[in-house]
Chains A and B, each alone.
Chain A
Amino acid sequence: MKIHVTVNGVAYDRDVEPRTLLAYFLREECRLTGTHVGCDTSSCGCCVVVLDGTRAVKSCTMFAAQADGHEILTVEGLAEGGKLHALQQGFWDQHGLQCGYCTPGMLLTAYALLKHQPNPSEADIREGLSGNLCRCTGYLNIVKAVQQAAATLGQPAGATK
Chain B
Amino acid sequence: MKQCSDIDGTVRNNPLLAVYNHIFSGSPLRRPRGSTRAALPRQEVGDVIPAAFDYLRAHTTDEALAHLQQHGAEARVLAGGQSLIPAMRFRLARPAVLVDINGVGELNYVRMSDGVLAVGAIARDSDIERAPWIGDRRWSLFYDVSRVVADPVVRQMGTVVGSLCHNDPSGDWTTVALASRATVVVRGKSGTRRVPIDEFLVDSFATAVGDGEMALGAEFPIPDDRTAGSYQKVERKVGDFATAAAAVQVSLNADGTIRSAGVALSAAGACAVRVDAAEQLLAGQKPSADLLRAASDAAWHRSAPQADLRGSVEFKKHLAGVLVARGLRQAFSRLGVQA
| Chains A and B in contact, CB within 8 Å | yes
Interface residues of A (CB under 8 A from B): 1, 17-19, 21, 40-43, 45, 48, 55-58, 60-63, 65-66, 68, 109, 112-113, 116, 127-132
Assuming the contacts A43-B239, A130-B238, A131-B151, asked whether A61 and B55 have C-beta atoms less than 8 A apart, the reply is: no
Chain B residues with Cβ below 8 Å from A66 are: 78, 81, 100, 102
Q: Are A40 and B81 touching (Cβ within 8 A)?
A: no
A57 CA to B156 CA, complexed, in Å: 7
Taken together as a complex, chains A and B put the C-alpha atoms of A41 and B47 apart, in Å, by 11
Contact A131 B238 (CB under 8 A): yes
Contacts of B51 in A (CB 8 A): 19
B50 at the interface (CB under 8 A from A): yes
Q: Which residues of B contact A (CB under 8 A)?
A: 19, 47-55, 57, 78, 81-82, 85-86, 88-90, 98, 100, 102, 124, 126, 130, 147, 150-154, 156-157, 238-239
What residues of chain A lie closer than 8 Å to B82, measured between beta carbons? 42, 58, 61
Residues of A within 8 A of B49 (CB): 19, 21
A-B contact pairs, 19 of them (CB 8 A): A18-B98, A19-B52, A21-B49, A40-B89, A42-B154, A43-B239, A45-B151, A56-B156, A57-B153, A58-B82, A61-B82, A65-B55, A66-B100, A68-B57, A109-B153, A127-B152, A130-B151, A131-B152, A131-B153
Contacts of B153 in A (CB 8 A): 45, 48, 56-58, 109, 131-132
Main secondary structure of the interface of B (DSSP, over half): loop
Give the Cβ gap from A104 to chain B, nearest Cβ, in Å.
13
B238 touches A40 (CB 8 A): no
A134 to B100, CA, bound (A): 32
Known A-B contacts A127-B147, A130-B151; the reply to A58 vs B55 at CB < 8 A is no
Within the complex, what minimum Cβ distance (angstroms) separates B229 from chain A?
20
Given contacts A18-B54, A61-B154, 14 further A-B contacts (CB under 8 A): A18-B52, A40-B48, A43-B239, A45-B151, A55-B126, A57-B153, A57-B157, A61-B157, A63-B78, A65-B57, A68-B57, A113-B152, A116-B130, A130-B152
B157 touches A1 (CB 8 A): no
Count contacts between A and B, CB distance < 8 Å: 90
A92 to chain B, nearest CB (A): 23
Minimum-distance CB pairs A-B, first 6? A131-B151, A18-B55, A131-B153, A130-B238, A55-B156, A19-B50
A55 to B154, CA, bound (A): 10
Check A55 against B157 for contact (C-beta < 8 Å).
yes
Q: Which residue of A lies closest to B155 (CB)?
A: A131
B124's nearest neighbour on chain A, judged by CB, is: A55
A40 to B152, CA, bound (A): 18
Q: Cβ of A19: which chain B residues have Cβ within 8 Å of it?
A: 49-53, 88
Compute how far the CA of A68 lies from the CA of B156 in the bound complex, rounded to whole angstroms: 18
- B82's nearest neighbour on chain A, judged by CB, is A61
Q: Which residues of B contact A41 (CB under 8 A)?
A: 19, 86
Most chain B beta carbons < 10 A, residue from A42, A63, A128, A129 = A42
Query: Which A residue sits closest to B100, measured CB to CB?
Result: A66
Q: Which A residue's beta carbon lies closest to that of B56? A: A18
With a CB–CB cut-off of 8 A, which chain A residues contact B130? 116
The docked-state distance in angstroms from the alpha carbon of A17 to that of B50 is 11
Known pairs A17-B52, A43-B239; A62 contacts B89 (CB<8 A): no
- When distances are taken between beta carbons in the complex, the residues of chain A under 8 Å from B88 are 19
**Complex: A105 Cα to B313 Cα, angstroms:** 37
Q: Which residue of A lies closest to B103 (CB)?
A: A69
Determine how close the nearest CB of chain A comes to the CB of B219; give it in whole angstroms: 25
* Contact partners of B154 in chain A: CB under 8 A: 42, 58, 61, 131
Chain B contacts for A21, CB-based, 8 A? 49, 85, 89
**A40 neighbours in B (Cβ, 8 Å):** 47-48, 86, 89-90
CA of A16 to CA of B94, assembled, Å: 19
Looking at the assembled complex, report how far the CB atom of B24 sits from the nearest CB atom of chain A, in whole angstroms: 13
Could you say which residues of chain A place their CB within 8 Å of the CB of B52? 17-19
**Interchain CA distance A116-B88 in the complex, whole Å:** 31
Whether the pair A1, B55 counts as a contact (CB closer than 8 A) is yes
Bound CA–CA A143/B154 (angstroms): 20
Q: How far is the CB of A142 from chain B (nearest CB, A)?
A: 14
In the complex the two chains form, what is the Cα distance from A62 to B102 in whole Å? Answer: 11
